[in-house]
Amino acid sequence: MKSLHLVLTTVIGLLLILGSLNMPDTGDPGSPPATHVSPRYIESGLEETAVPNMVTAVLADYRSFDTLGEVTVIFAGAMAVLLILRSTREEDES
């Protein structure tokens, strides 16, 4: 069973490395992410949002739904910690 795991891990790792060989170079201006929406953000971000910080313009305006999800994740995380710790404490007291 252990050798099967080893073989599986090796094969999947090799497949992942094989897949990463075709990825575009870092910072390649002709790669799909750099030619799809990035030029629009860079060229018209300032006049569309009136915000000089491009990172915030993308995070809080173009991708506001994503950031709403992030805040909800933090909220849910704090809620989970609160519920778990509080319920354990109540069991101890009773």
Partner 1 sequence: MTPEQPDLIVRMVCRGLAPFIQLFGLYVIMHGHSSPGGGFQGGVILASSFILLAMAEGSETLRRRLSLTALTGFMSAGVLLYAGIGVVCLVLGANYLDYGVLPFSEPRSVGMLVIEIGIGITVTAAMLSIFRDLLTF
Binding site for partner 1 (CB under 8 A): 48-53, 55-57, 59-61, 64-65, 67-68, 70-72, 74-75, 77-79, 81-82, 85-86, 88-89
Shortest distance in whole angstroms from residue 79 CB to partner 1: 8
CA dihedral sign, ordered 50, 56, 57, 62: negative
Q: CA-to-CA distance for 44 and 28, rounded, in angstroms?
A: 21
Shortest distance in whole angstroms from residue 67 CB to partner 1: 7
Q: What is the DSSP letter of 26?
A: T
In the complex with partner 1, which residue's Cβ is closer, 12 or 83?
A: 83
Specify whether the CB–CB gap between 67 and 58 falls below 8 A. no
In the complex with partner 1, which residue's Cβ is closer, 35 or 53?
A: 53
Shortest distance in whole angstroms from residue 38 CB to partner 1: 19
The tokens describing 18, both together, are 């094989």
